Amino acid sequence: MIKIKLKDGSFKEFESGITIFEAAQSLSEGLARNACVGILNGKTADLRTKLDQDCELNILTFDSDEGKRALRHSASHILAQAVKRLYPETKLAIGPATADGFYYDFDRDPFTPDELESIEKEMKKIVKENIKIERFELPRAEALKLMSDADEPYKVELINDLPEDAVISFYKQGEFTDLCAGPHLMSTKPVKAFKLTSVAGAYWRGSEKNKMLTRIYGTAFTKSEDLKQYLERIEEAKKRDHRKIGKELGLFTFMEEGPGFPFFLPKGMVLKNTLINFWREIHEKEGYVEISTPMMLNRKLWETSGHWGHYKNNMYTTVIDDEDFAIKPMNCPGGLLVYKSSQHSYRDLPLRMGELGLVHRHEKSGQLHGLMRVRCFTQDDAHIFMTPEQIKDEIKGVVHIIDEVYSLFGFKYHVELSTRPEDSMGSDEDWELATNGLKSALDELGMKYVINEGDGAFYGPKIDFHLEDCLGRTWQCGTIQLDFQLPMRFEAEYVGSDNEKHRPIMIHRVVFGSIERFIGILTEHFAGNFPTWLAPVQAIVLPISEKYNDYSKKVTEMLKAASIRAEADLRAEKIGYKIREARHSRIPYLLVVGEKEAQSNMVSVKSRGEDLGTKSIEDAVSDIKYDIDNKLIKEVKLSEENKK
């Protein structure tokens, strides 16, 4: 007999050799029916895994992230099986689960809409057949023979790349067999609600040197209603696409002369500078000083920092006077040079240095996506130099700033602690001290967080903040990285209270992450209906006819005198057309003026589709100023014309 500790802390005895699925059956038929995957001693495990010793076990359903991945991974195999049934000449590549669904890569010409429809119908048949999914393992030679006989060259390549002692596992459902590590469901039946969403090209193994494959994307749920809601969110996301709205509002553009390099237009610069001014306000309040470092520095610096060895493929380089230079992909080495430019005492610490630095990183063309993935962006960096005793308080201070900013925009967020990656530098002791420093700060703040094993920076562990927008999508923006390595590599020092030289500890942190990307996120979150304090144009004056143009100019000047970004629409157009245009431009306040308003120094105020009535110019200015000064956020929805 073996003893198993369950999620609720209770213990239950089972016969040795029982599977996780059989354990679920003994606990509850309902649990077994809905089980997707197990967590065995803290690690994800297939439901077919045999239990032969005392352990901790948590059986998860689709409601968990791991459960969703298992079901959607099974959906990708159902997709591949359907494709092989209909188009047997197709070669299989890979088909993992993703954050919101799954995909499978095929070596075949792109599928037509009619073919996608046929594949979906075949997938429904496979689900209805309730085919048992079985797992088996083979030695390397037999695994290679199986995939060679099946004429699956991509699978053969994957097997050849596995370690000699690797366990090579396969999953079989009916006539279909696939090389896969799993985990998977017990049968095809639970994949009841799915949809193939798009087709795209994808290079084999992500390399432009390899063949372009055809990728089919899809998503899957256990309930049709959940699928319906997801598809509605996808449609809403399309309407909120920042690239579409950015073009409509004249915020930014991209040109073929600079792929991946955004051009900000006048109204976009107003938005960007407003965010930057806000950044400066909160950082000045929190005791930061601002610096600026060169965009290009020589190879020696990047070798010292470790970027030349760890990050060179993502850097743009050039040669000046027979010496290698690189455009900075990060601001931190320059910040260290600034720190070293003068002597420091323990009394100077913590020293908080902020920098809005333009950085450049080489991203593959296929990965570029509007402002979300670009090749140059403004990173709202700050580097904090401190003593070991100051670590916790400084991390708490950064968390406070990030919380203040995200809360202001109405974002929820969750926190991940990323630990040491394989490609790292520094001693085990330093990494342990740094990781424990981040953990203890989060614990003292009472913040919930999850461990993201092996995803830290090459020089230190980090805390990542993933914000959630109004559509439920998550974006990684803020980060806090604790670094013992770069101060050591740059020989940074301070004089301690013992009058001896010591090495400072360094925090790298961003709040927005990339200002450009944050603008993209805000644009989609608010559907272009930015809070008044952020809006490029905060108020527009609309005369009902040309007779009231002079009065409109007067009102506009009063608004501008109060530091309100205002315009007047003096075109010879009907007032209904002007109002529709202003709403389509997402201008927060519309001030309509006609004979009655001009005679009484009044304005008729509309905001976000709501009629606020007739007010004196002074009261209208006061209301708008209150909205701006308090950075109010009102619930906004897409207007009917913006839904088109």
Q: Is 381 a catalytic residue?
A: yes
Q: Strand 323-327 and strand 296-298: pairing?
A: antiparallel
Q: Which of 173, 379, 390, 481 is catalytic?
A: 379
**Cα 453-133-151 angle, rounded to 5 deg:** 90
**Cα 359-486-286 angle, rounded to 5 deg:** 70
Q: Which of 508, 509, 578, 583 is catalytic?
A: 508
Q: Is 379 a catalytic residue?
A: yes
The closest of 240, 144, 132 to 526, measured between CA atoms, is 240
Place of tokens 């809360």: 407
Q: Tell me the C-alpha distance between 378 and 361, whole Å.
A: 11
User: 95 CB contacts (<8 Å, ≥6 apart)?
Assistant: 73, 76, 77, 79, 80, 102, 103, 104, 105, 178
Q: Which of 73, 240, 462, 606 is catalytic?
A: 462
Token pair for 479? 């980060």
Count Cβ atoms below 10 Å from residue 297 Cβ, excluding itself: 17
Q: Tell me the C-alpha distance between 508 and 457, whole Å.
A: 10
Q: Which of 105, 178, 380, 381 is catalytic?
A: 381
Q: Is 473 a catalytic residue?
A: no
Q: Tell me the C-alpha distance between 407 and 399, whole Å.
A: 12
Q: Tell me the C-alpha distance between 192 and 214, whole Å.
A: 25
Q: Is 238 a catalytic residue?
A: no
Q: Tell me the C-alpha distance between 394 and 386, whole Å.
A: 8
For residues 590-613, b (16+ Cβ closer than 10 Å) or e, as one string?
Answer: bbbbbeebbeeebbbbbbbeeebe
First to last CA, the chain: 64
Q: Which of 178, 272, 283, 332 is catalytic?
A: 332
Token pair for 241? 């696409």
Q: Tell me the C-alpha distance between 380 and 242, whole Å.
A: 21
SS (H, E, C) 156-192: HHHHHHCCCCCCEEEEEECCEEEECCCCCCCECCCCC
Residue 221, helix vs strand vs coil: strand
- Assess contact for 585 and 249: CB atoms under 8 A: yes
- Assess contact for 462 and 481: CB atoms under 8 A: yes
Q: Tell me the C-alpha distance between 224 and 511, whole Å.
A: 38
The closest of 158, 205, 176 to 168, measured between CA atoms, is 158
Burial class (CB in 10 A: 0-12, 13-18, 19+), 641: exposed
Burial class (CB in 10 A: 0-12, 13-18, 19+), 433: middle
- Assess contact for 91 and 154: CB atoms under 8 A: yes
Count Cβ atoms below 10 Å from residue 102 Cβ, excluding itself: 26
- Assess contact for 279 and 512: CB atoms under 8 A: yes
The closest of 259, 282, 489 to 402, measured between CA atoms, is 282
- Assess contact for 398 and 447: CB atoms under 8 A: no
**Residue 31 identity:** L
Residue 215 bridge partners (DSSP):
105, 200
Q: Which of 69, 242, 361, 606 is catalytic?
A: 361
Q: Where are the alpha helices (DSSP H) in 585-639?
A: 595-600, 617-629
Token pair for 280? 């400066």
**Residue 151 identity:** D
Place of tokens 């005895």: 13
Q: Which of 242, 283, 383, 420 is catalytic?
A: 383
Q: Is 105 a catalytic residue?
A: no
Active site residues: 332, 361, 379, 381, 383, 462, 508
